Chains A and B, each alone.
Chain A
Amino acid sequence: MPISREYIIKRLILLVVVVFGVLIITFVITRVIPARPELLWAGAHPTPEQLEKARKELHLDEPIYVQLYYYLADFFRGNWGVSWRTRQPVLQDILSALPATLELVIVAFIIAIALGVPLGAIAALKRNTWIDHVIRIVSVLGASVPVFWLALILQLVLSSWLGILPGAKRVDELVVYETGFKPITGFILFDSLIEGNFEVFVNALHHIILPAIVLSFYPFGLSARMTRAVMTEVLSELYTRSALAWGLPRRLVIYKYALKNTLAPVIASLGLSFGYTIIGAFMVELIFVWPGIGLYAAMALLSYDYPAIMGCVIVVAIIYTVINMIVDVVHAIIDPRVKL
């Protein structure tokens, strides 16, 4: 493995810096918003005394830097606070919501890569033919159609009008009760498969198709465009010309050699698009009532649930950093010139 210890240490330091920076920025932003979260904490129809008590409990009467101190001190002890909305520890809330989101995003990326990379490669090989133009239109649309619009339209057409696919939730509760399904990791597709519970697996798969397709549009468009651009460049490289001139079959030069040259930059761009996809997941989860971190964050945002918002932002930041670390490692595995 071409990965040095310095690289891992550097990345861990970077992770801490990123988390710290995100913490401070989101903390300041949430506190500066002119909202009155104590109203939520104090419950319905509070008396002025109750409100005052709530402000004290939430440290809202203290200066902002003291509030930050309290927060950081708790945060690094693993206490991410209690959600003001659900009254559950935030970390626990997030950890139970995270698998749903990761499952959705992973399936979306699998769809995006499985379609985007081959279509991009075909477009590069059939450059300036009608096939190329069709793929271009589809991929540009994929990358530019707003995800909330797409989600609503597909939900309306496929679920409401045609009734082909379910338009909400991860799985039918009835099937879960009847089969006595107990999730282990929280990844329903994975859990049901290893438990041999095919009824739940098929049901969950049926549910995930629509939101995953919606979410896959952006990474699909991106990977198709990137693959076409990089592949076109690789095919015009001197090493491609010499491989052909040395008599290697065209098939081999394209699918074994050029494709490998194409993959590294495509994977890197997909890693960067992950952040955007998470934002997409917020909308998709809200629209499809998908019980993941996006739905949780959206609800937290709508009710000024500071600890929950902070927790979500930090988890997303950590995931983003880790994903890009994985992208680096994959790049180093593909390209021997890259030393980490």
Chain B
Amino acid sequence: MDVKPLVVENLTIHYYTLEGIVKAVRNVSFSVEKGESVCLVGESGSGKSTIGLAIVGALPGNARIVSGRILVNGVDVLRLSQKELEKIRGREVSIIFQDPAASFNPLFTIGQILSDVIKYKLNVKDKNELRKLALSALRMVGLPDPERIYNSYPHELSGGMLQRAAIAVALSTKPSVLVADEPTTMLDVTLQAQILDLLQDLRRKLGLALVFITHNLGVAAAICDKILVIYAGSMVEYGPVDEVLTSPLHPYTKRLLECVPRSSARVGRLKYIPGSLPDLRKLPPGCVFAPRCSEVMEVCKSVEPRIVEVKPGHMVACHKYSR
């Protein structure tokens, strides 16, 4: 049997802050096949980026992975030493971020960063070989005039070009898993489509396992095979993208879908979900979504719902579907 490139099991992550322990991610599980893409969808602050950072082992210093496993090509990266982890990071898993302009050190050219990544990850010593690999990585992401980009500083390039360059850096080492943390949020719509196309294209060509993090359901619909809806650090629904988007089960997913503004239906006010995310330091007992849920029942306020498989491959954490 083929080993899955990425398996996340019961991942729980806490942030230790002066104001208390923030339970940012709780019991999140999902897996990604070769060439498959899974979307993590949720509001700002739902913990989706934290999961992405945990996968590449780049969590900030005050975060702790309390429990769970992250298997990259069958190896539990959480059990590795710092040194072994450094080997995998950027080599087997890599990441691109939301703000491409802030992802690049302003004092170094794209070429310097790109060739350093190739040099240290692929152990290429020869200067000409290094340059050749770097230029071919830039060519792979469809950047015109790679020579010029190679010698450019970040401030000399546009956001779209920088995001392509970031993809080139992340994929220059041929990783099997790529985490894309809201890679199109800062770009305008036409560029957004180009970058999504590029990612789709590269995913097929390289057989990448893609973890795509977004708050935009439209983007998720365009790029994903499976979708994982996260609310306040808990997974509420997980399933094939068509099913989740056309026949959502969880009340939160339903509300979220209603909130997507449609250009064709300009009637009435924009919809939103009343209330806001709960305080992750003082979680309410029971279902985290209960205070905002329109279909709330008595049991929701005291008992935390378990995630159950309602249809094959379609799971939901809601008391409506228990038993």
Question: What is the count of residue pairs linking A and B with beta-carbon distances less than 8 angstroms?
Answer: 77
The complex places the Cα of A275 from the Cα of B102 at a distance, in Å, of 36
- B56 neighbours in A (Cβ, 8 Å): 245
From A92-100, A116-124, A213-221, A332-340, give the one contacting chain B.
Answer: A332-340
Shortest Cβ distance from A243 into B: residue:
B105
The complex places the Cα of A238 from the Cα of B153 at a distance, in Å, of 16
| Contact A243 to B94, CB < 8 A, known contacts A248-B120, A336-B155 | no
The complex places the Cα of A213 from the Cα of B53 at a distance, in Å, of 47
Q: Within 8 Å of chain A (Cβ to Cβ): is B108?
A: yes
Instruction: Determine how close the nearest CB of chain A comes to the CB of B155; give it in whole angstroms.
Output: 5
How large, as a class, is the contact surface on chain A? 20 to 34
Instruction: Determine how close the nearest CB of chain A comes to the CB of B170; give it in whole angstroms.
Output: 6
- B153 neighbours in A (Cβ, 8 Å): 336-337
- B169 neighbours in A (Cβ, 8 Å): 246
Interface of chain A, main secondary structure = helix
- A243 and B89 form a contact (CB under 8 A): no
- A238 and B170 form a contact (CB under 8 A): no
Instruction: Determine how close the nearest CB of chain B comes to the CB of A249; give it in whole angstroms.
Output: 6
The complex places the Cα of A250 from the Cα of B95 at a distance, in Å, of 17
| Contact A336 to B107, CB < 8 A, known contacts A241-B58, A247-B91, A250-B86 | yes
The complex places the Cα of A243 from the Cα of B105 at a distance, in Å, of 8
- B86 neighbours in A (Cβ, 8 Å): 247, 249-250
- A257 neighbours in B (Cβ, 8 Å): 105, 107-108
- A62 neighbours in B (Cβ, 8 Å): none
Q: Within 8 Å of chain A (Cβ to Cβ): is B90?
A: yes
Q: List 6 A-B contacts (CB under 8 A).
A: A239-B105, A242-B102, A246-B117, A247-B121, A250-B86, A337-B153
Give chain B's interface residues, CB within 8 Å of chain A: 53, 56-58, 60, 86, 89-91, 94-95, 97, 99, 102-108, 113, 116-117, 120-121, 153, 155, 166, 169-170, 173
Extra 16 A-B pairs, beta carbons < 8 Å, given A241-B60, A243-B105, A247-B90: A237-B102, A238-B97, A243-B113, A245-B57, A245-B89, A245-B97, A246-B95, A246-B169, A246-B170, A247-B89, A248-B116, A248-B117, A248-B120, A261-B106, A336-B107, A337-B106
